[in-house]
Amino acid sequence: MFTFMNTTTGGIPRRIIKETVMQQRFCTCGHQLWVLYSSIERKFRTMFFAGTCFSGKRVDICPCCGAPLDINRLN
């Protein structure tokens, strides 16, 4: 999904391309997590959420086992 955001720089409007994708992943302990991949002007960022896709709490560690979340370790 692509979303276009309007911003103003020095009084001149410009468009910034923002892409966001949300995926369901699982911790090594089996706990379900949601990962939001966000790209703004070619800079990528990942955020982790516990709960459901649309109403979850942002987390940095697994709420079940306490392991630090790393995108490369999630299933």
Q: How confident is the model at residue 69 (pLDDT cuts 50, 70, 90)?
A: very high
User: Do 22 and 54 touch, CB atoms closer than 8 A?
Assistant: no
Residue 46 pLDDT exceeds 60:
yes
Using alpha carbons only, give the angle 25, 23, 44 rounded to the nearest 5 degrees. 110
* Structure token pair of residue 27: 């911790």
Q: How confident is the model at residue 8 (pLDDT cuts 50, 70, 90)?
A: very low
Please compute the mean of the pLDDT values over residues 4-21 and round it to a whole number: 57
